Chains A and B, each alone.
Chain A
């Protein structure tokens, strides 16, 4: 169902297919070529897209305006409206966030004897985890090793990753797969139990484990079911507005609003784990995004006010292949697994221009170069640019029916719009996907604030300047479990704690000194997509 104007290019793509198959792998770029490509075409390198922070622990560090606007902002709700001495819940470990990291942390903290409470501003499981399609990495095959995995992770991150974090990631990976397997996650396997693994961008061994193209959904629904089976406590549609601290600045809980009822309340906790996810819904530089509704960087804001240092906040991951057509689903993710299965990236003339499984920042930059720099993009009826993903090629390479069998979710997604990706290519352009950095943690998930932990996309340092495919589903569970265990053990040694907002009041003084406008408030909680003129603050803001 492509319009006439795009059909011609599809014919060229079909005409070059056989030749392209014979062509083999396009050589990988070397370090200098990569550097030059990123500098010219990666969105992070657009100078005017970022500014230096004027307050807080990262004062002087650059970050996109959209993130800076939330970090340099006043509390959404004045701390004095909360009563920290009368908490609604009093627990050992409070987990903020109900995605893969939060639920893994809760399960693990509970296993280690803690009384846990998990909060989420949407439903349990509403998170980017649910949307991750392609896979999860682990070096568990004979020809592979954690060392190889480590080198791939570092290469992908341009060697800036914090070594102890990358080491924890690759060392725990096989254990994570085994844990999930034991919980009943249906990994793609051969009849004898051997995992079916493929390449992802930047992998030197085939170590991408998948559950068809519902990998994250399958993991999330299994973890959520286990959470419910264990009878753990959860509060849904409750958004965290601030952390709470004691006199010494140690984290001791959080302040919330119930988004259904507007009730303001507090939760006292001996330790707190932030698992609030990323920032896709900020639409950095106006990009569409692949993220779920709640990806609004709330955790960065809360931790920053409490004094936690952030890392790598000047690097955003643009997924190379977001949907560029049809218009209704622009920006949604086309999983990297499509390229893992052999689909070529092809320009308007039917030619390839980059090895499809370079790391994401490289591939995304190459697509932008092809469209914007070389003017070799396909133009859609609404004026968007894109390049083709030759998906029918998968049928040629892997046999008839391979698209439907390996990519049922993707197939379904496009079939709704009359595009059948086993017969026609699909059009793609980079889309905002992932927050490479975040709250700086150590290998146990500890942040710069005592008794505050972070896990998942909100945390930073593991992936350096660019994350590889399949290492995010992995890191949420590796560090969710590490933080859950540590937070539970730590809580055992802590008696009654006192709660307050001294850190917020100190931060407000900084904001005042920096003359931050009073009407700029955060956290954002949810994006506002109502049309202009109908947008209003939340009722509880007052």
Chain B
């Protein structure tokens, strides 16, 4: 049917005309419509992102931004794609951080209490200032998981850090030069590969596949006509109850 509904794209979600705020991007003042995210406000102002923009949905950590608001000494942070502009906002992005990452072979590691410290001994320098937790845009208790890492509690680090998007803001504030998110990444990989039990049913299925158990069935299905498949799908396919 011939029908075309005009929908607005991301481009024109630009607040009400007339309502403007002033933001300062790296010191330069711009008038932008109220109600935009920092990212869309910067684009409105004329920035075309090469760096500092990734998923635009709060998952990738590319757009970590540091800002102050009017007459406040306090440094705040947020993801540019998720944080609304405020009048008088003074901001800069931190699109890249020169982080230390250790190289390892996950199969050769031992998931003991010393493994995290062995790779990242600087975690012992944590002075418990809590700057990392305060800056985290994901509201993760970053200092808490670094303390758990010092104790060697891999499972706890893995669980507490799970929502990390590796934006690097924690590392940018750390007086002990810890790269928290890489410590957490190692902990999660250690937990997933070496602490958690492997799925037994998965190994059974792999064995069956290797033995060719499903080949005759798949041979039959791949040769079926659309009509035969449709009949099978609509008439014989049972659905596992909730």
Inter-chain CA distance A178–B189, complex, in Å, is 14
A292 touches B197 (CB 8 A): no
- Which residue of the partner chain, among B47, B190, B206, contacts A175 with CB atoms under 8 Å? B206
B110 contacts chain A at the CB level, 8 A cutoff: no
Classify chain A's interface size.
35 or more
Encode B52-95 as 1/0 by CB contact (under 8 A) with A: 01111111101000000000000000000010100000000000
- Report which A residues bind B (CB closer than 8 A): 25, 30-31, 39-40, 45-49, 122-123, 125-126, 128, 130-131, 139-143, 145-148, 150-152, 154-155, 159-160, 163-164, 166-167, 170-171, 174-175, 177-178, 181-187, 189, 191-195, 199, 204-206, 212, 214, 216-218, 221-222, 225-226, 228-229, 231, 237, 259-260, 283, 285-290, 292-293, 327-333, 342, 372, 408-409, 412-413, 416, 526, 528-531, 534
- The chain A residue with its CB closest to the CB of B223 is A163
Q: Would A330 and B13 be within 8 Å (CB), given that A130-B54, A142-B201 are in contact?
A: yes
- Whether the Cβ atoms of B36 and A531 lie closer than 8 Å is no
Are B51 and A237 neighbours in the complex by a CB distance under 8 Å?
Answer: yes
Evaluate contact between B217 and A184: CB separation under 8 angstroms. Answer: no
Q: CB within 8 Å of A: which of B186-229?
A: 188-194, 196-206, 209, 214, 217-218, 221-223, 226, 229
Q: Given A193-B199, A222-B189, A531-B46, do A184 and B237 touch, yes or no (CB 8 Å)?
A: no
Give Cα distance in the complex from A47 to B3, angstroms.
8
> Quick one: closest B residue to A39, CB to CB?
B1
Min CB–CB distance B221 → chain A (angstroms): 5
| Interface flag for B118 (CB, 8 Å) | no
Q: Give the complex CA separation of A333 and B56 in angstroms.
A: 11
With a CB–CB cut-off of 8 A, which chain B residues contact A130?
Answer: 54-55, 59-60
Stretch of B99-107, B122-130, B145-153 at the chain-chain interface: B99-107
Q: How far is the CB of B196 from chain A (nearest CB, A)?
A: 6
B9 nearest in chain A by CB position: A283
Q: Are B1 and A293 in contact (CB under 8 A)?
A: no
Whether the Cβ atoms of B192 and A193 lie closer than 8 Å is no
- A356 → chain B, closest Cβ, in Å? 11
With contact pairs A151-B232, A167-B218 given, residues A204 and B237 touching in the complex (Cβ less than 8 Å): yes
Across the interface, A531 reaches (CB within 8 A) one of B44, B163, B222, B239, namely: B44
- In angstroms, Cα B172 to Cα A333, docked, is 30
Bound form: Cα–Cα A195–B203 in Å: 12
Contact A171 B209 (CB under 8 A): yes
Closest to B239 in A: A204
Cβ-defined contact, A174 with B206, below 8 A: yes
Q: Which of A142, A183, A204, A331 contacts B193 (CB 8 A)?
A: A183
Instruction: Please state if A328 and B233 are interface contacts (CB–CB under 8 Å).
Output: no
Complex Cα distance A528/B206, Å?
47
CA gap between A146 and B212 in the complex, in Å = 11
Instruction: List, sorted by A's number, 17 A–B pairs whose CB atoms are closer than 8 Å.
Output: A25-B242, A46-B4, A123-B60, A131-B59, A141-B205, A147-B218, A151-B221, A195-B199, A222-B192, A286-B9, A292-B56, A328-B13, A416-B82, A526-B49, A528-B48, A529-B11, A530-B43
Q: Which of A140, A192, A204, A286 contacts B205 (CB 8 A)?
A: A140
> What residues make up the interface of B, taking CB atoms closer than 8 Å to A?
1-11, 13-14, 35-37, 40, 43-44, 46-51, 53-60, 62, 82, 84, 101, 103-106, 138-139, 158, 162-163, 165-166, 185, 188-194, 196-206, 209, 214, 217-218, 221-223, 226, 229-230, 232-234, 237-240, 242
Is there an interface contact between B188 and A159, defined as CB atoms closer than 8 Å?
A: no
User: A72 CB to closest chain B CB, in angstroms?
Assistant: 21
A409-B163 contact, Cβ under 8 Å, with A131-B60, A181-B192, A285-B7? yes
Do residues B7 and A288 form an inter-chain contact, with CB atoms below 8 A? yes
- With A31-B230, A31-B234, A195-B199 in contact, do A328 and B35 touch (Cβ < 8 Å)? yes
Q: Is the CB of B189 within 8 A of A225?
A: yes
The answer to whether A206 touches B43 (Cβ under 8 A) is no
Do B57 and A131 have beta carbons less than 8 Å apart? yes
Residues in A with CB closer than 8 Å to B237 are 148, 151-152, 155, 204
Known contacts A146-B218, A286-B8: A140-B48 contact under CB 8 Å: no
4 residue pairs, one from A and one from B, having the closest CB atoms: A193-B197, A184-B189, A184-B193, A184-B192
A287 and B7 contacting across the interface, CB-CB below 8 Å: yes
Q: Which one, A148, A225, A293, contacts B185 given CB within 8 A? A: A225
Q: Given the interface contacts A130-B60, A131-B59, does A408 sit within 8 Å of B206 by beta carbon?
A: no
Judging by beta carbons under 8 Å apart, are A530 and B47 in contact?
Answer: yes
Task: Note all chain B residues with C-beta closer than 8 A to A143.
Answer: 240
Q: Which residues of A contact B200 (CB under 8 A)?
A: 192-194
CA A189 to CA B158, docked complex, whole Å: 14
Distance between Cα atoms of A148 and B226 in the complex (Å):
16
- Tell me if A229 and B46 are in contact (CB < 8 A): no
Whether the pair A146, B209 counts as a contact (CB closer than 8 A) is yes
For B36, the chain A residues whose CB sits under 8 A away are 328
> A283 to B10, Cβ gap below 8 A?
yes
Further 9 A-B residue pairs, CB within 8 A, beyond A204-B237, A260-B50: A46-B4, A145-B214, A187-B192, A195-B199, A226-B106, A229-B106, A260-B51, A292-B60, A327-B13
For B159, give the chain A residue with the smallest CB separation. Answer: A186
- Give Cα distance in the complex from A526 to B202, angstroms: 40
> Is there an interface contact between A171 and B214, defined as CB atoms closer than 8 Å?
yes
| Bound-complex Cα distance A288 to B86 (A) | 25
Residues of chain B within 8 A (CB-CB) of A237 are 50-51
The docked-state distance in angstroms from the alpha carbon of A199 to that of B240 is 9
Closest chain-A Cβ to B81's Cβ sits at a distance in Å of 9
Could you tell me if B48 and A217 are in contact, using CB atoms closer than 8 angstroms? no
> With A260-B50, A529-B40, A530-B43 in contact, is A413–B189 under 8 Å at CB?
no
B contact residues around A290 at 8 Å (CB): 57
CA distance A412 to B57 in the complex (A): 12
List chain B residues, Cβ under 8 A from A186.
Answer: 158, 162, 188, 191-192, 196
Chain B residue with Cβ nearest A535: B48
Q: B188 to chain A: which residues have CB within 8 Å?
A: 184, 186, 218, 222
Q: Which residues of B contact A178 (CB under 8 A)?
A: 202-203, 206
How far apart sit A125 and B214, CA to CA, in the bound complex (Å)? 35
Please measure, in the bound complex, the distance between the C-alpha atom of A260 and the C-alpha atom of B52, giving whole angstroms.
12
* B13 A214 Cβ-Cβ under 8 A: no
Q: Is there contact, CB below 8 Å, between A205 and B240?
A: yes
Also in contact, A141 and B9, with CB within 8 A (given A184-B194, A237-B50): no
Most buried by A among B11, B197, B223: B11
Provide the bound-state CA to CA distance between A267 and B57, in Å: 32
A45 touches B1 (CB 8 A): yes
Enumerate chain A residues within 8 angstroms of B7, measured Cβ to Cβ: 285-288
Closest chain A residue, CB of each to CB of B15: A327
Q: Could you tell me if B218 and A331 are in contact, using CB atoms closer than 8 angstroms? A: no
Contacts of B203 in A (CB 8 A): 178
Q: Are B165 and A217 in contact, CB atoms less than 8 angstroms apart? A: yes
A181-B106 in contact (CB<8A): no
**Chain B: minimal CB distance from A323 (Å):** 10
